[in-house]
Amino acid sequence: MSERVDISDISGRKLSGGKSIDTEELTGKTFPYQFDPSLVEDIDLYASTPGEDLNWLEDIELMTEDGIPAVFDRYTNAFLKIHFEIPEGRENEYARKVLIKHLQSGNSYGVWLKHKHAKFPQPELGSWLAESETVGQNWQPPQLDGWQKPTGH
């Protein structure tokens, strides 16, 4: 996995104040592959998905958020904006490659939450990358300090 981002560091966070909640809002970060198409060129979409075709990526298309091209990350429920110029006719291909790069890099906000909140065993980086660490094997329910179990339970 790539270097883990410290999500407690919000020094670089810039809130748009808009109606939308995008990945940059949630993480307080942007990522290099949002700006440089060469970083996603070698992504193999077919190898990254189950089955013989694009499978779930068939539903992933280039959209816009705040007037900027963006791809929707359903594992975070947020848009990931794409700031580089996309060649005409390859809009969906680049949207899919940026999304898969984002997921495989472990930068999806939903992936960050897995370490603490996954209740059942699952690969940290989902089904998009082989040899991913397993998380969720030893989940314990959260408990507030000083909380006492109600009688009768």
* Closer CB to other proteins, 30 or 122, in the complex: 122
* Closer CB to other proteins, 11 or 50, in the complex: 50
| Residue 47 CB neighbours (<10 A) | 10
Least distance to other proteins from the beta carbon of 135, Å? 10
φ and ψ of 126, to 5 deg: 65, -155
Name which of residues 53 to 112 contact other proteins (CB under 8 A): 53, 55-56, 58-59, 63, 72, 74, 77-78
Name which of residues 39 to 58 contact other proteins (CB under 8 A): 49-53, 55-56, 58
Least distance to other proteins from the beta carbon of 32, Å? 25
| Spatial CB neighbours of 104, under 8 Å, sequence gap ≥ 6 | 43, 48, 125, 128, 129
In the chain, the largest separation of any two C-alpha atoms, in whole Å, equals 65
Name which of residues 10 to 39 contact other proteins (CB under 8 A): 19-21
25: its two tokens: 């809002």
User: 63-65 and 68-73 as β-strands: parallel, antiparallel, unpaired?
Assistant: antiparallel
Question: Judged by CB under 8 A, how many residues of this single chain contact other proteins?
Answer: 31
User: Taking CB under 8 A as the rule, does residue 137 contact other proteins?
Assistant: yes
CA-to-CA distance for 75 and 66, rounded, in angstroms?
A: 20
Least distance to other proteins from the beta carbon of 41, Å? 23
Q: What dihedral do alpha carbons 21, 30, 33, 92 form, nearest 10°?
A: 10
> Where does this chain bind other proteins (CB under 8 A)?
19-21, 49-53, 55-56, 58-59, 63, 72, 74, 77-78, 119-123, 126-128, 130, 132, 134, 137, 141, 153
